[in-house]
Amino acid sequence: MTGSYPASRYRVPVSAEEEVKGQAARRRTFAIISHPDAGKTTLTEKFLLYAGAVVEAGAVKARAGRRAARSDWMELEQQRGISVSSTVLQFDYRDHVINLLDTPGHRDFSEDTYRVLAAADAAVMVLDAAKGVEPQTRKLFEVCRSRNLPVLTFLNKLDRPGRDPLELLDEIQEQIGLDPAPITWPVGIPGDFRGVLDRRDGSMIRYERTARGTGEAGEQRLSAAEAAESLGELWAAAQESSALLDEVGASFDPKRFLAGESSPLFVGSALTNFGVRHLLDAVVDLAPGPSPARDSSGEQRPLDAPFSGFVFKVQANMNPAHRDHVAFVRVCSGHFERGMVLTHGPSGKPFATKYATSMFGSERNTVDDAWPGDVVGLVNASGLRVGDSLYESAPVAFPPIPTFAPELVASVHPRDLSRFKQFRKGLDQLEQEGVVQVLHRLGGDPNPVLAAVGQMQFEVFAHRMEHELGAAVELGVAQERTVRRTDAQTVPKLQEAGGVELLERRDGTVLAVFPSPYWLSRLENDHPDWTLEAIVNS
């Protein structure tokens, strides 16, 4: 980015501690959040293009260069044309190491996105300029707010007809609670997008289209006088809007950005590559690097402390030929070296790291070293679960990663009882990955109940059980339910009241499942002393 934001500098380390700090300063670990169809996957591809990680944008062209640009790998994702699982893309850009945590592109998998955001230091929020702030966007931003993540905003699809950008700024402020601070501003209207006004120096960047957006867009920087001569009224209108933004104080403030109060905003079109470089430069120049992580007691663990990290995602069968498990570990402190023996926090047992990889979509490369901010994939890590800590030297545990309150429940049975062993194994595996929650009724009923946030989670569960795990299932009709957490003292009272199903998680938490919010409301009013706690990111 050519502007008033100097890039971070990496100085030669003079000790092991200085090396950790220097390497951490080069890391940028962020997630992209958006409503489905806002352009997240396209933007991800274009980041890889501008970083030189692929020669041409698009999965087919990228494979010719021996790397897959797209992070979608599951068969069902390819059939539906959406992302239903998250993954990691690591690449270099401007002497920095970028860890892009790709997130699901469907609202039913927002719980997976929550887990990914636990491993991010910042987020890029992508908005469709024609649709503005949508329900999924609001929901995901609330997670960013709860985790104090700085957010950069990208107004996408300005190459198509859309809404007035000033109107969209008001909507961001009113519905999300962030003060947008535009750094680039459109020249021309949505659908007739000519370039951007760089509000840092008043110049214009004019773009040139490339065939199907497969290559970097040509950029020409014009002075204000040159832009006025070339574009006339369009440039004057952009300057007028920018002056209005100055009057209302919509200017970038680094402190407010890092505090989660303001969001630097960029405009463009990921499809045509307009504005992509500005946004990627902003990730390097503005987004924070790794900072000391707080452990479960609230103490900060210094970056140069001995190695520590936590599992934020577990995924099986990323490589169907090997049927392996990969645990994604966010490095919080210290220097990871492949082959080091760590301690598994929950069990206290040693854990070998011989098979450590970095990810590029479905492809993987052996990792010999990793530093704070990096994500390491540990292969054949079937003993690790989401939220588990790994450490060297002194024990450390990190705060639990949020889980969602289920909104749908459904019964499940194996289609073929002779495959019951595979059925049980599949239940354990997909619960471990977080595809669904597997619950059991109190009272000894052995038949499991599945719980999820959205219907598509059940579809993915059934698809993977049949095609990956060889245990086709029969799913009951998913029922909408209102779920609350309860305790041992309240359980017999709920059983006596009737109309409530009591289900237990693997960790022993008992959930009271109500057929409607009205029955819950009645019991809460009649029995305020009963424990019926809403499950909010617990």
- Binding site, by residue number, is 34-41, 102-106, 156-159
User: Alpha-carbon distance 117 to 401, whole Å?
Assistant: 10
Give exposure, 26-62, as e/b (b: 16+ Cβ within 10 Å).
Answer: bbbbbbbbbbeebbbbbbbbbbbbbbebbebbbbebb
Q: Name the phi and psi angles at 218, rounded to 5.
A: -65, 140
The dihedral of CA 190, 93, 104, 110: what is its sign? Answer: negative
Residue 532, classified by CB atoms within 10 Å of its CB into exposed (0-12), middle (13-18) or buried (19+), is: buried
- Please answer whether residues 209 and 220 qualify as being in contact, where contact means their C-beta atoms are separated by less than 8 angstroms: no
User: Alpha-carbon distance 205 to 277, whole Å?
Assistant: 11
Stretch (H or E) spanning 228: helix 224-231
Structure tokens at 347: 């069990």
- Please answer whether residues 208 and 196 qualify as being in contact, where contact means their C-beta atoms are separated by less than 8 angstroms: no
DSSP one-letter string for 259-302: TTSEEEEEE-BTTTTBTHHHHHHHHHHTS----PEE-TTS-EE-
CA nearest neighbour of 260 among 176, 373, 374: 176
List, as residue ranges, the binding site for GTP.
34-41, 102-106, 156-159
- Where in 386-426 does DSSP place strands (E)? 389-391, 408-414
